[in-house]
Amino acid sequence: MLEYKTEVWPVDKKIAEDENCPQITQASLWIKKNEVIAFPTETVYGLGGNAKSDAAIEKIFLAKGRPSDNPLIVHVASREQLIGMVSSIPERAKKLMDAFWPGPLTLVLPKGEDVSERVTAGLSTVAVRMPDHPVALKLIKECGLPLAAPSANVSGRPSPTTAQHVHEDLNGRIPGILDGGVTGVGVESTVVDCTAETLVILRPGGVTKEQLEVVAGETMMDPGLLNEQAAPKSPGMKYTHYAPNAPLFLVDGSPSFLQELVDKQKGAGLKTGVLTTEENAPFYKADAVIPCGSRGKLESVAHHLYDALRAFNESGVDIIYGEVFPKSGVGAAIMNRLEKSAGGQIIKE
């Protein structure tokens, strides 16, 4: 793998569409040379490369250490950029675009002739979205190219919500990072398969099942969300993702039961961590007690989840116990990420 002197280019995340920005121009020049650049979106930081170029997509997989059977999402700045990326757009998909684009919603559609086979991992479909972030949209427009962009982290680690997270993982692996500050939603986009009779959520995210059903009718959750053996139709469906360095166990039980588990490990000489909420944090006695938001406002949990998971790496703990959350609304996305980061390890009281 090539070694780069990774540059970090600070950019105002409120940049105007018609504003001149040398940093974005520099980043777009790299992308036009089939290199890959990290940039902010409203969900997490993405690692973008030309979605039409096998060479660029190969560099994404190399930089991340990502399995090649894991498909990527193509990011566009206009519907015109979908030409050649997709072969058709069903009416339901158009309704979802009208309602949620730009925004944290990815649509799986029949693939077009121009998209790299490396993007789709050999599938007959391609995942596309339009990010709701001025820096991302300006970069895509300036390149004049649709960008394939998974999260800008080493595969398996928690997704990056700051440029610093990206730098920790990919320094020396990519030419540059556009630093637009902290991202907004905090968890990745919702991925919806629009090719079946019924809309199917392949990955829960920033747009909830309930919101989708208001616009496009019946929507179901894919039963293969935790099936590690199935060929993934979407990013985030296969392999352990979002994981801190120490093993994470989710605890479906009371705070006192979770504390008993902590005490047992402390008695065995292990450094312990607890992933919790602001409401419950004062209750726990562990080496690292890290709240990821408020239980009364799950949007704050989604926003801070990856930052909290990364914070455990700094704490040097040997084992982490995490609270669980309701699976309604954005809680479905939170629990999907936690179950993946725990490798499905859940302890019930």
> Cα(58)–Cα(56) distance, rounded to whole angstroms?
5
Confidence of residue 233 (pLDDT cuts 50, 70, 90): low
Span 153-177, mean pLDDT? Answer: 95
DSSP string, 265-317: HHHTT--EEEEE-TTTGGG--SSEEEE-SBTTBHHHHHHHHHHHHHHHHHHT-
Rounded percentage of the chain residues whose pLDDT exceeds 90: 88
User: Of 208, 207, 204, 258, which is closest to residue 226 (Cα–Cα)?
Assistant: 204
SS3 state of residue 261: helix
- Residue 93 is inside which H or E element, if any? helix 91-100
Maximum Cα–Cα distance across the chain: 61
User: Of 118, 117, 99, 120, which is closest to residue 109 (Cα–Cα)?
Assistant: 120
> Cα(10)–Cα(271) distance, rounded to whole angstroms?
37
User: Of 121, 38, 105, 33, which is closest to residue 72 (Cα–Cα)?
Assistant: 121
SS3 state of residue 254: coil
Span 241-260, mean pLDDT? Answer: 94
Report the amino acid identity of residue 116: S
Percent composition of the chain: helix, strand, coil (DSSP 3-state, to 5): 30, 20, 45
Q: Can you read off the two tokens belonging to residue 6? A: 């990774």
Per-residue pLDDT, 88: 97
SS3 state of residue 180: coil
> Cα(39)–Cα(139) distance, rounded to whole angstroms?
8
Q: Can you read off the two tokens belonging to residue 284? A: 């726990």
Confidence of residue 299 (pLDDT cuts 50, 70, 90): very high
Any idea which of 145-149, 156-160, 240-244, 291-295 has the lowest mean pLDDT?
Answer: 240-244
Examine the pLDDT at 226 and tell me if it is beyond 80: no
> Cα(188)–Cα(182) distance, rounded to whole angstroms?
14
- For the chain, the distance separating the N- and C-terminal CA atoms, rounded to the nearest angstrom, is 47
H helix runs in 131-228, sequence order: 134-143, 163-170, 209-216
- Give residue-wise pLDDT tens across range 63-89: 999 877 789 999 999 999 999 999 999
User: Of 317, 312, 303, 254, which is closest to residue 280 (Cα–Cα)?
Assistant: 254
Q: Domains in the chain, start-ordered, CATH in brackets?
A: 7-221 (3.90.870.10), 248-348 (3.40.50.11030)
Examine the pLDDT at 216 and tell me if it is beyond 80: yes
Confidence of residue 1 (pLDDT cuts 50, 70, 90): low
Residues 6+ apart with CB under 8 A from 91: none
Any idea which of 2-16, 91-105, 252-266, 280-294 has the lowest mean pLDDT?
Answer: 2-16
Span 222-245, mean pLDDT? Answer: 64
> Cα(159)–Cα(154) distance, rounded to whole angstroms?
8
- Give residue-wise pLDDT tens across range 42-64: 999 999 999 999 999 999 999 99
Distance between alpha carbon 111 and the CA centroid of its chain, in Å? 22
Per-residue pLDDT, 288: 98
Q: Report pTM.
A: 0.92
Unique residue bearing structure tokens 């989710």:
250
Radius of gyration of the chain (CA): 20
